[in-house]
Amino acid sequence: MTDIDLDAIAAKRARLQAEYITAGRPPTSARGIHHTALMCSDVEQTIRFYQGVLEFPLTDLFGNRDYQGSTHFFFDVGNGNLLAFFDFPGLDLGPYQEVLGGINHIAISVTKEKWDYLRGKLDAEGVPYQEASGTSLYFRDPDGVRLELLADPLGEMYGTKVL
């Protein structure tokens, strides 16, 4: 990592907040995220992890219209939101890596009780995780995608309203 000017970054962040986060902002033009689509190496392994370990119900599974032999499938992550996956058999895709425009992590809100319960399931499955601030669990899915279980309500993060 190269040296960075933290004071300059903080000043830019303050300027962006003052300029773009405005009181009385207009409502969003969107209704919400229909689904976020990720890639996986093995459909059944992904189903066992997301439905079996994390308890996100599989809602549908069908052929991908854009790539013959590929499967497109969806998990319910609450509040009308879906997490979707594709497999791409025959493409010999490499392992997950962070790239510009890629996903750093997906944060999924759960109650504190469910957060404690799912932490126990991660332990039982031997899934390593990092705990942060007493409300975040960071871990990776079978293909290396970084996930966060966040025991904060939607629209809040670590006691701060973000919505």
Classify residue 66: in a domain, yes or no.
yes
- The answer as to whether 123 is a domain residue is yes
The whole-angstrom separation of Cα 109 and Cα 149 is 6
The answer to whether residue 14 sits within a structural domain is no
Q: Is 35 a domain residue?
A: yes
pLDDT given at position 2: 78
- Let me know if residue 5 belongs to a domain: no
CA–CA dist 79, 69 (Å, integer)? 31
Strand partners, 162: none
Residue 16 domain flag: no
DSSP letter, residue 78: S
Per-residue pLDDT of the chain (163 residues; tens, 9 = 90+): 678 999 999 999 999 999 998 888 888 888 888 889 999 999 999 999 999 999 999 999 999 888 899 999 999 999 999 999 999 888 887 777 777 777 889 999 999 999 999 999 999 999 999 999 999 999 999 999 999 999 998 888 888 888 7
| Residue 6 forms part of a structural domain | no
- Give the pLDDT confidence score for residue 61 in this predicted structure: 97
pLDDT given for residue 1 in this prediction: 65
Host domain of residue 147: 31-88+103-161
Whether residue 96 is contained in a domain is answered as no
CATH of the domain at 65: 3.10.180.10
Do residues 115 and 109 make contact, with C-beta atoms less than 8 angstroms apart? no
Strands 146-150 and 106-109, by their bridges, are parallel
Q: Which amino acid is at 78?
A: G
Domain count, the chain: 1
